Structure 1
Amino acid sequence: MNKRKICVVTGTRAEYGLLYWLMKEIQADPDLELQIIATGMHLSPEFGLTYKQIEEDGFVINEKVEMLLSSDTPVGVAKSLGLGTIGFADSLNRLKPDILVLLGDRFEILAAAQAAMIARILIAHIHGGEVTYGAYDDAIRHAVTKMSYVHFVTTEEHRKRVIRLGEHPNRVYNVGAPGIENIVRMSLLTKEQLEELLGIALEEPVFLITHHPTTLSSNPIEGTEELLEALNNFKNATMIFTKANADNNGRKINSLISAYVSQNPRKRKLFDSLGQLKYLSLLKYANVIIGNSSSGLFEAPYLETPTINIGNRQSGRIRPSSVFDCDPNVKEITEAITKALNYKFENDDQYKIFGDGKTSKRILSILKKIEIKPIMKKFYDGEII
Structure 2
Amino acid sequence: MAIFTVVAGARPNFMKIAPIIHAFQKSQAEGKNLQFRLVHTGQHYDKKMSGDFFEQLNIPEPNANLGGGGGTQAEQTAAILVAFEKELMENRPDLVIVVGDVTSTLACSIAAKKLQIDVAHVEGGIRSGDLSMPEEINRMVTDSITDHFFTTSEIANTNLRKAGVAEERIHFVGNTMIDTLMAQMPRFKKPEGEIFDHLEPKEYFVMTMHRPANVDQENSLKAMIDAILAGTGGLPIIFPVHPRTAKNLQNLGINAPNLHLVEPLGYLEFNYLVKNAKGVITDSGGVTEETSVMNVPCVTLRDNTERAETIHLGTNELVGTDPKKLKPFLDKIMAGEWKHYQGIPLWDGKTAERIVDVLEAQYA
Report if aligned partners of 2:14, 2:53 keep a CA contact under 8 Å in 1.
no
Pairwise CA distance, 1:370: 0.7
The code of the aligned residue for 2:13 comes to E
Change (3 A) 1:139 1:237: same
Report if aligned partners of 1:306, 1:343 keep a CA contact under 8 Å in 2.
no
Question: Is the aligned partner of 1:32 residue 2:34?
Answer: yes
Q: Distance in 1 between matches of 2:330 and 2:119?
A: 41
User: What is the SS of the residue equivalent to 1:227?
Assistant: helix
* 1:50 aligned partner: 50
Change (3 A) 1:198 1:353: farther
Q: Distance in 2 between matches of 1:15 and 1:260?
A: 33
* 2:199 aligned partner: 202
Unpaired segments of 5 or more residues in structure 1? 245-250, 373-385
* 1:61 aligned partner: 62
Change (3 A) 1:229 1:259: same
Question: Is the aligned partner of 1:293 residue 2:284?
Answer: yes
* 2:320 aligned partner: 327
Once structures 1 and 2 are overlaid, which stretch shifts more, 103-112 or 181-190?
181-190
Report if aligned partners of 1:213, 1:220 keep a CA contact under 8 Å in 2.
no
Pairwise CA distance, 1:328: 2.1
Q: Distance in 2 between matches of 1:222 and 1:182?
A: 37
Q: Deviations over 1:115-145 (max 9, x none)?
A: 1111111111011111123413112112111
Q: Deviations over 1:313-333 (max 9, x none)?
A: 526733236322223233322
Report if aligned partners of 1:176, 1:359 keep a CA contact under 8 Å in 2.
yes
Q: Distance in 2 between matches of 1:261 and 1:5?
A: 54
* TM alignment of 1:57-96, pairs within 5 A: 57-69=58-70, 71=71, 76-96=72-92
The code of the aligned residue for 1:104 comes to G
Aligned length: 352
Q: Distance in 2 between matches of 1:346 and 1:290?
A: 15
Q: Deviations over 1:318-360 (max 9, x none)?
A: 323632222323332233222233344667x624356322101
* 2:330 aligned partner: 337
User: What is the SS of the residue equivalent to 2:206?
Assistant: strand
Unpaired segments of 5 or more residues in structure 2? none
TM-score normalised to structure 1 length: 0.81
Q: Distance in 2 between matches of 1:32 and 1:341?
A: 51
Question: Is the aligned partner of 1:274 residue 2:266?
Answer: yes
Once structures 1 and 2 are overlaid, which stretch shifts more, 222-231 or 331-340?
222-231
Structure 1 vs Structure 2 CA RMSD: 3.0
Pairwise CA distance, 1:65: 1.4
* 2:354 aligned partner: 362
Report if aligned partners of 1:240, 1:270 keep a CA contact under 8 Å in 2.
yes
% of aligned pairs identical? Answer: 18
Q: Distance in 1 between matches of 2:101 and 2:218?
A: 19
Q: Distance in 2 between matches of 1:278 and 1:160?
A: 36
The code of the aligned residue for 1:169 comes to E
User: What is the SS of the residue equivalent to 1:42?
Assistant: coil
Q: Distance in 1 between matches of 2:125 and 2:217?
A: 24
TM-score normalised to structure 2 length: 0.85
Report if aligned partners of 1:55, 1:61 keep a CA contact under 8 Å in 2.
no
User: What is the SS of the residue equivalent to 1:84?
Assistant: helix
